[in-house]
Amino acid sequence: MKTDVKKLKRTMLAALAAIAIVGCQSEDVSSDLELVDTTISQEETARNAQVDLATESVDNIVESVYFNDEVESLSDTGRSNNTIDFLPDCVTITTVVTSTSKEKTIDFGDGCELPNGNVLSGIIKMSYEKDMEAASKTISVSFENFYFNAVQVEGSMSRLRQRANDAGNPQSTINVDVKVTWPDETFASKVGTKIREWIEGVGTGQWGDNVYLITGNWTTTFRNGNVHAGEVVVPLRRELACLFLVSGVIDLQRNNASGSLDFGDGSCDNIAILTTANGEEITIYL
């Protein structure tokens, strides 16, 4: 009988301990959920910016490859000093022409470093109408085992490309639906639309003087369910001579929290300033 009492005491103590642990865990979970709802994560903001950087790199490549095809197709000689030649020899571009379309495969192999220092591997695929005299056309973009600086990019991008907008500049309206996965298996899905206007360097034949202004809005959803909604309120300035966005502001909404991300005054650096709803400023390293 004494043995049974001892066993009963041990069982009750274990049960009380379990209840205490569960109670602590519940408080921790509740605290985490409250944090998620009321703050903007510095780490997720940085990763969100990395997603934007990866898709921007793809945009640069697609724009330059298409522009070269457009210039050469409309040139009497088939070649022009106005083409952009910034892709290194480790990139292989293959073109298949049908009666109505052009299919381009941009192959970076197992790893190819671009002049701006980014290392890409795998394949970007492009498809668009064969008629290069059209004032606008849709360019479909997809990926095959594609990595940007060890970050995998999957999904698709569709761009309505105008040879000239009202200001006379090339412009693309891009619908993005991609998934980005980091080496630690963290991933995020980005869906949205952006307008990318080529404002400087058109037709110079140099890639380093090309400048774009970007507007639009998009949503990034992380593996843990956190959602970042971004809307450009000051156009983002992308200079190809720099690895990063040099200016512009995005308004952010993360679950129930809000803030803004400022990419600076035009200086080429890897710093952006996250300002929370309560006015706190946090340095984000891109």
Give the model confidence (pLDDT) of 51-106 as tens digits: 988 998 899 899 989 988 888 887 664 445 556 677 889 999 999 999 999 999 99
Higher pLDDT, 157 or 11: 157
> Does residue 74 fall inside a structural domain?
yes
Whether 64 is covered by a domain: the verdict is yes
- The pLDDT of residue 166: 95
Mean pLDDT comparison of 75-79, 126-130, 270-274, highest-scoring range? 126-130
| pLDDT at residue 141 in the model | 97
Domain-embedded: residue 202: yes
- Cα separation of 211 and 200, whole Å? 5
Q: What is the total count of domains within the chain?
A: 1
User: Is the pLDDT score of 225 beyond 50?
Assistant: yes
> Among candidates 183, 162, 110, 172, which has minimal Cα distance to 141?
172
> Which amino acid is located at 97 in the chain?
V
Res 86: pLDDT:
74
User: Containing domain of residue 53, as a range?
Assistant: 42-285
Q: Which residues contact 212 (CB under 8 A, 6 or more apart)?
A: 196, 197, 198, 199, 237, 238
- Residue 19 backbone phi and psi in degrees, to 5: -60, -40
Q: Which residues fall within 8 angstroms of residue 1, CB to CB, at 6 or more apart?
A: none
130 within domain boundaries: yes
In which band, very low, low, confident or very high, does the pLDDT at 255 lie, cut at 50, 70 and 90? confident
Q: How open is the CA angle 181-187-192, to the nearest 5 degrees?
A: 95
The two tokens of residue 196 are 């990318």
- Mean pLDDT of the 29-54 span: 63
At position 26, the amino acid (one-letter code) is S
Residue 1 lies in a domain: no
Mean pLDDT of 102-125: 94
- Percentage of the chain exceeding pLDDT 70: 82
**Whose CA is closest to 193, among 175, 213, 171?**
175
pLDDT reading at 31 higher than 50 = no
Please determine, for residue 121, whether its predicted confidence score (pLDDT) is greater than 60: yes
Is the CB of residue 106 less than 8 Å from the CB of residue 61?
A: yes
pLDDT score of 39: 61
What average pLDDT does the segment 41-46 reach?
A: 79
Backbone phi, then psi, for 147, in 5-degree steps?
Answer: -130, 140
Length of the chain: 286
Residue-wise pLDDT for 156-203, tens only, equals 999 999 999 999 999 999 999 999 999 999 999 999 999 999 999 888
- Residues 249-272 have a mean pLDDT of 90
Q: How confident is the model at residue 18 (pLDDT cuts 50, 70, 90)?
A: very low
Q: Per the domain annotation, does 69 fall within a domain?
A: yes
Q: What are phi and psi of 205, to 5 degrees?
A: 85, 0
The verdict on residue 7 lying in a domain is no
Q: With bands split at pLDDT 50, 70 and 90, how would you rate the model's confidence at 257?
A: confident
Q: Which amino acid is at 74?
A: L
Buried b (16+ CB within 10 A) or exposed e, 227-239: ebbbbbeebbbbb
User: Does the pLDDT value for residue 125 go beyond 90?
Assistant: yes
3-state secondary structure of 259: strand
Q: Average per-residue pLDDT in the chain?
A: 83
Identify the CA nearest to 141 among candidates 176, 170, 173.
Answer: 176
Give the H/E segment covering residue 94: strand 92-97
Q: Using CA atoms, how far apart are residues 186 and 229, in angstroms rounded to an integer?
A: 18
Asked whether the beta carbons of 259 and 275 are under 8 A apart, the reply is yes
Domain assignment present for residue 8? The answer is no
Mean pLDDT value of segment 207-217: 91
pTM, entire model: 0.79
Assess contact for 249 and 234: CB atoms under 8 A. Answer: yes
Question: Which residues are CB-neighbours of 210 under 8 A, at least 6 positions away?
Answer: 60, 84, 198, 200, 201, 202, 239, 240
- Contact residues for 172 (Cβ-Cβ < 8 A; gap 6+): 59, 63, 139, 159, 160, 161, 162, 195, 196
